[in-house]
Each structure stands twice: as structure tokens, then as C-alpha cells.
Amino acid sequence: MHLTIMEKDILLINAREAWKNCLNIIRSKVTEKGYRTWFEPIIPVGLENDVLRLLLPNQACYQQLEGHYVDILAEALTSVLGQNAKLEYQIEQNSKTEIHTQKIEPIKPLIKQTFDSNLNDEYTFDNFVEGDCNRMSKAAAMSIAERPGVMYNPLLVFGEVGLGKTHLVQAIGNHVKHKYPEKNVYYISSEKFISQFVDAIRENAVQSFNKFYEQIDVLIVDDVQFFSGKEKTQENFFHIFNALHIHKKAIILTSDRPPKDLKGLEDRLVSRFSSGLTVDVQLPDYETRLAILEKKITTGNEVVPHEVLQYIAQNVTTNIRELEGCLISLLARSSLEKRTIDLALAREVLINITRNKPKEASIETIQIVVAQHFDLTVEDLNGVSRKKDIATARQIAMYLCKKLTQNSYKIIGSKFGNRDHSTVVHAFQTIENLCKTDKKLKETLSLLEVQIGQR
Ligand code: ADP
Ligand code: MG
């Protein structure tokens, strides 16, 4: 290899020339394919004080340089720019213009990068409201974040969608990055992992793919249920998992279901996944929902009356993402339509969002609607009269209570003037049988159901 550039000229050459000279050296040492794929797309963007700045097209390119070509790169760079040469990487994010600047690191010894961890820095423990539904998971997550790899390895957090799994595991990552800046933290969804792996196979780069993963100190893989049916990926992940585990690197996983229900995943993988600590996140109760809403509000500057927050917390019970969604819609509506945020506006927003999910009716509501329909009073329904029209209305009301609420026969009986549970069973069966032949009754029941739903 011959060098055309002398030490004293270094300050004069620009980044392009320096990189061109590096490329000449690199080209003679790597395959044509490797050169084309990984080196050609790199753009030199600056050279200052022995620091050559390169713009890499993507994270995969960085992984390749770090994992596969680091020695060749270092040698070329030293030859061209001298012993003090350093590299600075910028990685183009999703081919948008936004540029992520990587930390400057000496190229020798081995380029050690604090690479892009893929974390959203808004997902912190501070922002994560604790309740009975997630206390255990949060405690586990926090102790891992304090001492990654030491305890509970791996951690598997499972629970239904929108209950805070991603937030919690990313909070671990953010905490570790803050507390141990030298540690490599990497967050990835299982879908992304699968597509990265497929790319690596196509580009004949599985080895460096694995090498990249094996230098991670805290690996967070979100939604592992998507590994289902992907045998090759599972096999490869199994090896990465073991390599990390044996070196006491922290592994944190989430899943939308408990391990036993992870169908389509190899047994040995499921058993590795559940070999540490398995915790779940559950639906938050009213107080936790309200606390979450309050937290979201204090992070913005909006003024939302407390009764409105209470109203949302009472009515949105399915998951936290939806809870948040309601609040966001409410703020958006108020700002777009220039309306003050009050209960009326909250009701409108909620009707739109929860339109397809009728709230469970109460026994009291059903009694009122049925009584009105038959020109009776609720007292008539609950009373002792056995007059035919009253008795039938009572049976219809009982039937609807059983059909539209989760209450037991016993409870329904108790709310109808303390009747026995067998009376309710009898009423339910009678009405159900009658429905089969009595078209008019069937129509009446549908009408009543609609009226009850509108309450
Ligand atoms: P999952 O991954 O379980 O589907 P996410 O972590 O994406 O759920 O949570 C959905 C949304 O709810 C996120 O915006 C998250 O910040 C918020 N969230 C979930 N749990 C909490 C919590 N305990 N405190 C505050 N925000 C939460
Ligand atoms: Mg998630």
C-alpha cells in the first residue's frame, strides 16, 4: 500500500480527499460486494483536528463498520491521517434529513460507540404512575434499572395492549443510560428484529448482526409474541439470548400474553423467557386512571377542570392508551373549536370514542326504562302484585337485567323486592322461551334494549 499524503499535509486535505484515500486502502482489503454495500454509500462531511466526520446511511451500516470492518477501517484511517485520527459518525435516521450525531470516539482501541438506543426519552419512571395494577412490575423494573444483569434476568413483562409495557421497559433503558453511560442499551421491537435479521441473511451478514447484538449490555425486546412462527429468527435469537445471559447482560422482554400462551414459539425459547422473573401489568383502577390523567396534564400546560378528569377516568376503563387518547382528543377539540374544556365537551368526545362499546347498564336503569314503557312505577316492579301486566313487566325487567348486566340471579332477585334467585331464573327462562314464538315480545325487548343503551 502506498500513501501519497504526508503528515504535514494533513491539515490541508479536506474530508473528501482523506476519505477517498481511505477508500483506496479499504477497497484492496474487502470484497467488492462488501465495499459496494457498506463503504460506497458513506459520505464524508468534515475533517477537523484529526477528526473525520462520516455520514452513514443507516444503523445497519454502522453495525457493519463496528462489527466487521473495524480493524480495516482503523488501519486505513491511521495510514491516511496519522495515529491521532478519530472518527465521528452521523447516522441518517430513516432517510429523513434529521441527523443523529454519535459521540466522538477514538478509533483505536476498538471503536466503542454509544449507539442509538432507540429509546423514547419521555418514557421514564417519573412519568410512570404506580398503582396496584403495575406495582410489582414497576418494582422489578426499577431494581433491574439500578443493577442491570444482576437480578431478575431475564425480565418478562406481559399484559394486554395499552397497559404500559413499552413505557415501563423503556424506562429501564433510559434509567440505565443515565446511570451507566458506558453501557450499551438497545431497544427493539420483535418485528424490527425480524426484519433486521432478514436483511442480514440477504446481505450475508448474520455474523456481524450477531456480533452487534452480543456487545449490548441491556437488550430490550418488545412484543416477543411476534416471533411466533419465525423459526429461523427464533433460533438466532436463542443464541444471542444465551450469549448475553451467560455474560450477565440484562435481557428485558414484553409480551401481550403469559408465556404459557405463546403459541408458535419454540419450547426452549419460552422456557428461557420465563427463566427469570415474569410479571404482569393489569387494568388500572379508578384512582390510578385519575392519577395518570393528572400526570399527563401536569406535563403540559393545559387547564382541565378536575371534574372532567374524573369523568374521563370513570368512563374510560379499557386501557391507558385509550385514556390518554380521550384527553388528547379533548384538548384538540377545545383548541380547534375554541371551546372551553368542560363536562359537556368531554361527553361529546367520549361518545365519539366509545360509541361502539356500550357501557354496562345498571339494574336501576333497566327498572326505570321497563316501568316507563309499561306505564308502571319501579315500586310496582318491586312490589308484591301478581296482576298479569305487572308480573310480565317484572319478568321482562329481570330478563334484561340478566342479559345486559354481569349481576348474578341472586343479586338481581335482591333488587326486585328481595325475591329469591329461583324466581329470577324462572323469569329468565320464561321470557327466553316466549321470545321464540312471540314476535311482538321480541320487538318490545329490542326496543327496550336500545332505550336502556341510550341512558
Ligand atoms: P403497551 O406497550 O402495554 O401496549 P404502552 O407502554 O405503549 O402500552 O402505554 C400506552 C400509553 O399509556 C403510553 O403513552 C404510556 O405512556 C401510557 N401509560 C401506560 N401506563 C402508564 C402509567 N402507569 N403511567 C403513565 N402513563 C402510562
Ligand atoms: Mg407496547
pLDDT digits (tens, 9 = 90+) for 261-320: 999 999 999 999 999 999 999 999 999 999 999 998 876 666 899 989 998 998 888 889
Asked if 262 and 225 count as a contact pair (C-beta separation under 8 A), the reply is yes
CA of 222 relative to ligand 2 center, distance in Å: 7
Strand partners, 252: 155, 220
CA of 320 relative to ligand 1 center, distance in Å: 6
Q: What per-residue confidence (pLDDT) applies to 346?
A: 92
CA of 207 relative to ligand 2 center, distance in Å: 29
Whether the CA torsion 125, 320, 325, 190 is positive or negative: it is positive
Atom 21 of ligand 1, nearest CA residue: 164
Q: What per-residue confidence (pLDDT) applies to 285?
A: 93
Atom 18 of ligand 1, nearest CA residue: 164
Q: Which residue has the cell 332505550?
A: 451
The answer to pTM > 0.85 is no
60 φ/ψ sector (left φ>0, alpha ψ -120 to 50, else beta): alpha
Ligand 1 atom nearest to CA at 161: 4
Ligand 1 atom nearest to CA at 170: 6
CA of 241 relative to ligand 1 center, distance in Å: 26
Pocket of ligand 1, beta carbon within 6 A: 127-129, 134, 159, 161-167, 292, 295, 320-321, 324
CA of 128 relative to ligand 2 center, distance in Å: 14
Atom 14 of ligand 1, nearest CA residue: 321
**Of 69, 107, 76, which is closest to residue 208 (Cα–Cα)?**
69
Distances (CA, A) of 398 to 370, 388, 389, 407, 443: 10, 15, 14, 11, 17
Residues 174, 159: Cα–Cα separation, whole Å = 21
Q: What are phi and psi of 44, to 5 degrees?
A: -75, 135
> Count of CB atoms within 10 A of residue 300's CB?
11
Q: Which residue has the cell 296482576?
A: 387
pLDDT in tens, 234-276: 999 999 999 999 999 999 999 999 999 999 999 999 999 999 9
Q: What per-residue confidence (pLDDT) applies to 298?
A: 74
Q: DSSP code of 360?
A: P
Helices (H) and strands (E) in the chain, counts: 20, 10
| Kind and range of the H or E run holding 53 | strand 51-56
Strand partners, 54: 44, 89
Residue 82 is which amino acid?
A: G
Q: What are phi and psi of 338, to 5 degrees?
A: 50, 50
Point out the ligand nearest to the CA of residue 160. 1
Q: What per-residue confidence (pLDDT) applies to 355?
A: 59
Q: What per-residue confidence (pLDDT) applies to 2?
A: 41
Q: Which residue has the cell 473525520?
A: 52
Atom 11 of ligand 1, nearest CA residue: 321
Asked if 353 and 322 count as a contact pair (C-beta separation under 8 A), the reply is yes
Q: What per-residue confidence (pLDDT) applies to 354?
A: 66
Q: What per-residue confidence (pLDDT) applies to 279?
A: 96
pLDDT in tens, 10-56: 545 678 888 998 999 999 889 898 999 999 999 888 888 778 888 88
CA of 173 relative to ligand 2 center, distance in Å: 14
Sheet holding 155-158, edge to edge: 185-189, 218-222, 250-255, 155-158, 277-280
Point out the ligand nearest to the CA of residue 191. 2
Asked if 146 and 180 count as a contact pair (C-beta separation under 8 A), the reply is no
Q: What per-residue confidence (pLDDT) applies to 57?
A: 85
Q: What per-residue confidence (pLDDT) applies to 1?
A: 38
Residues 356, 22: Cα–Cα separation, whole Å = 63
Ligand 1 atom nearest to CA at 288: 23
Average pLDDT along the chain: 87
Average confidence (pLDDT) per 10 residues, the chain, 455 residues: 43 76 90 91 84 84 84 85 81 57 42 70 96 96 95 95 97 96 94 95 93 95 96 96 96 96 94 95 94 84 85 89 91 89 90 66 93 95 95 97 91 95 95 90 86 74
